[in-house]
Amino acid sequence: MSEAGAGTGARSARPTSRDVAQAAGVSQSTVSLVLGGKWTGRVSPATARAVEETAERLGYRPNAAARNLRLGTTRTVLLVIPTITSPFFGPVYIGAARVAARHGFGVVVYPPDDARPATPGASPFAVPREAIDGIMASSMTLDALRGFGRAPVVMLDSGPAAAGTAPTVDFAVEDGMRAVVAHLAGLGHRRFGHLAAAVDEWTFRARGGAVARAVHDVPGGTLTRAAGAIDVRSAKEAAERLLGLPDRPTALVCDDDLMAAGVYKAARARGLEIPGDLSVTGFDDVEIARALEPELTTVRLPAQELGEQGMLALLELLGGGRPEPRALPVELVVRASTAPPPA
Amino acid sequence: MSEAGAGTGARSARPTSRDVAQAAGVSQSTVSLVLGGKWTGRVSPATARAVEETAERLGYRPNAAARNLRLGTTRTVLLVIPTITSPFFGPVYIGAARVAARHGFGVVVYPPDDARPATPGASPFAVPREAIDGIMASSMTLDALRGFGRAPVVMLDSGPAAAGTAPTVDFAVEDGMRAVVAHLAGLGHRRFGHLAAAVDEWTFRARGGAVARAVHDVPGGTLTRAAGAIDVRSAKEAAERLLGLPDRPTALVCDDDLMAAGVYKAARARGLEIPGDLSVTGFDDVEIARALEPELTTVRLPAQELGEQGMLALLELLGGGRPEPRALPVELVVRASTAPPPA
DNA sequence: CTGTTAGCGCGTTCAG
DNA sequence: CTGAACGCGCTAACAG
């Protein structure tokens, strides 16, 4: 009867803290104290060590549900994104989940479903992950977060506008677009076209504004613009409108790499060589940029770092801090789709 | 004092089931029964209705942690994938999460991090989402799941081999490859090249085997093969080896759309026109297939349905059932990268 | 048909 | 310095 912990091999369920306590010959609270890391000055070092070893030996892991219930915290954060089917958000998730894991947090993604982006469940049990410690929202406005309760929020890639309300982490997209235009202008281009993404998000408004300002600063620079959805077909159509102009641009600046793929198609259809007859640039530097032929000059966005910094900011916020707004530097990646304009 | 629920506006915390019970003038267990949906014959319809209305009015949502603790279940499943940075797995997640949500389950993805695919946390608190009801593992072997405990498992896209051990959901990749070869053979091709993905997964072994068998069945058909990693550069190099052959293939069958992009580059470098001089096919039908020029003939894999069916199978398994192995039909998508061989 | 009670596993008092 | 006792919110036995 007193041989606690030994000989009870039949029960292979996960050990509880009480099992650890019994096996180590101490009480449950001692186990809790030791494993919680706040035992110094309250438990003798020898006991602490013994407890740690027993826990290790038994393969003890605290029961998350009990922990959450007691602490009123879930150690789970929600990553809200506009669409899960974009190559951009994978790295964001990776970055967030990586630093989250380092702090004992899990990350769950919302929405699970592109089709109906904001449908709260009908039954009260339909959205099990309602219990959440905080929210990271990427590429959207604060308004879009109605229905998520009053959890602490960090806004990612949503512009500094929300900075008063919530901590923000953004890319320095203006710098990126300025670098693109400077690169092109340095090559000798003067007639610019901008293929704008017809998407109402801060980042695209910022890209458009930056292009306009940058071209304005190029002596003799002119800018024409066409907008389209972020898919190959729409981008191709928009590009055709630009390329059909009497004084057609010699360089097309795209809001997105995928749109650049559409430009390639439009150019080929007109018999225009890239980059000989037409220079093209993208934005984001997703996989497709290197799959295109010629490879695409574009702007690399540190998407993973966005997730990391966002999670760090959220952690700071949860800890009672007031994280500063941050803007992540971007990088112009010059490949083979840009060259001096035709003579 | 008896005005329970009213006038206590100061407390804006989430209402508990006890709050609902008080406000409705019934006991906690009645609330539990009614909201749990199993009250018929045990609670009067009138009371049930009253409870539902009060719950609604108070905006009551059950506390997940308490529920989980009591039930010993988490209503969370783990989706284990080889790499999160592949456009293939987004739709799988969507499918899984969609049907999961319909059943009150959440889906969390593992690993959060491509870099170290199987690192269990160092501290006992590092992997908070260890508490899981079941696992869906995609594109891997059962062996790779060591360290995830003994949760019920469904294997996705991992071949019927594991079928004895765990329920499986697969694509009919053999059908897909046979359709590709038949399409090409119908166009008149006889010299085939296979650009194999050098990845040790069932799906790629199946693709390779299917190509070999299908070409074998083409009268006069010959097959050469080169392997490479699934990225543009490796695929390009592998394609160059095939295209440098004295009797070079007139059709290149690729294991993956991204590899086809590498073939495009190799072909252009040699001055070969696609599809005039060389037909190319992909596999998966990810976004890049339509971004390439000419657009890629490929095989569409119903990735989202894989997730849906996988989750359905897991649900059935959790409910004590024995789901049948299933193979999802695939579809040949003929675009512009295939044509009759040069004369 | 409804209310009372016990306990899931944990972290945190409060006695000893 | 350690152990016993309590309660987080919920569900499932058991009483009434």
**Which tens digit of pLDDT belongs to each residue from B17-58?**
888 888 888 888 888 888 888 788 788 888 888 888 888 888
Chain A residues 25 to 54 whose Cβ lies within 7 Å of strand D are 25-30, 41-44, 47
Give the dihedral sign, CA B70/B71/B72/B77: negative
- Give the distance from residue A221's alpha carbon to the nearest chain B alpha carbon, in angstroms: 30
A100 in contact with B at a CB cutoff of 8 Å? Answer: yes
- The domain A173-301 having CATH identifier 3.40.50.2300: the answer here is yes
Domain A1-62 has CATH 1.10.287.70: no
Q: What distance lies between CA B115 and its chain's CA centroid?
A: 20
pLDDT digits (tens, 9 = 90+) for A139-158: 988 888 877 777 899 999 99
Using DSSP's 3-state secondary structure scheme, residue A298 falls into strand
Question: Which amino acid, B245?
Answer: L
| Residue A79 exposed, middle or buried by CB count within 10 Å (0-12, 13-18, 19+) | buried
Query: Contact, B307 vs B95, CB < 8 A?
Result: yes
Which nucleotide's C1' atom has the smallest distance to the CA of B28? Answer: C3
* CB interface of A with B, residues 239-298, below 8 Å: 258, 261, 264-265, 268, 287-288, 290-293
Tokens of B14: 């989430």
Q: What share of chain B is helix, strand, coil (3-state, %, to 5)?
A: 40, 15, 45
> Whose structure tokens read 């894989």?
B306
Q: Which nucleotide is nearest to A28 (CA to C1')?
A: D3
Model pLDDT for residues B59-71, shown as the tens digit of each residue: 888 888 888 888 8
B123 close to A (CB below 8 A): yes
Residue of A109, A234, A236, A258 to mutate, interface with B, max B Cβ within 10 Å = A109
Question: Does the beta carbon of B151 lie under 8 angstroms from any beta carbon of chain A?
Answer: no
C-alpha A120/C-alpha A127 separation (Å) is 7
Q: Where in chain A is the domain with CATH 3.40.50.2300?
A: 69-170+304-326, 173-301
In angstroms, what CA-CA distances link A146 with A80, A116, A119, A142, A158?
Answer: 12, 15, 11, 8, 16
> Would an 8 Å CB–CB cutoff place A97 in contact with chain B?
yes
Instruction: Identify from A292, A305, A335 which residue to disrupt to test chain B contact, counting B C-beta atoms within 10 A and taking the largest count.
Output: A292
B166-195 core/surface letters (b: 16 or more CB in 10 A; e: else): bbbbbbbbbbbbbbbbebbbebebbbbbbb
Measure CB to CB from residue B108 to each of A63, A74, A106 and give the nearest one.
A106
Per-residue pLDDT tens digits of chain B, which is 343 residues long: 233 333 333 335 678 888 888 888 888 888 888 888 878 878 888 888 888 888 888 888 888 888 888 888 888 888 998 887 788 888 898 899 888 888 878 888 887 655 543 344 333 333 444 578 899 999 988 888 877 777 899 999 999 877 778 999 999 999 999 999 999 999 999 999 999 999 999 999 999 999 999 999 999 999 999 999 999 999 999 999 999 999 999 999 999 999 999 999 999 999 999 999 999 999 999 999 999 999 999 999 999 999 999 999 999 999 888 999 999 999 999 999 999 999 8
| Closest-CA distance of chain A to residue B287, Å | 9
Confirm or reject contact between B121 and chain A (CB < 8 A). Answer: yes
Q: Does B87 touch chain A (CB under 8 A)?
A: yes
- Residues of chain A neighbouring B127 (CB-CB closer than 8 A): 101
* Residues in chain B within 8 Å Cβ distance of A97: 109, 112-113
Q: What whole-number distance in Å separates Cα of residue B125 and Cα of residue B290?
A: 44
A37 touches chain B (CB under 8 A): no
What pLDDT was estimated at residue A174?
A: 97
d(CA A238, CA A98): 39
Q: What is the pLDDT of residue A305?
A: 96
CATH 1.10.260.40 domain position(s) in chain A: 1-62
The tokens describing A121, both together, are 């469940």
B231-CA/C5-C1' distance, Å: 63
CA A68 to C1' C12, whole Å: 14
- Residue B269 phi, psi dihedral angles, 5° rounding: -60, -30
CATH no. for B69-170+304-326: 3.40.50.2300
CB-based contact, A68 to chain B, within 8 Å: yes
B171 three-state secondary structure: strand
Q: How many CB pairs below 8 A link A and B? A: 153
Q: Are A76 and B128 inside 8 Å of each other by CB?
A: yes
- Best mutation target among A74, A107, A113, A132 (most B Cβ atoms within 10 Å) is A113
- Read off the pTM: 0.85
Q: Which residues does chain A have with pLDDT short of 70? A: 1-13, 112-130
Calculate how close chain A gets to B75, using CA atoms only, in Å: 7
Per-residue pLDDT, A66: 87
Give which of A328, A333, A339 is closest to A283, Cα–Cα: A333
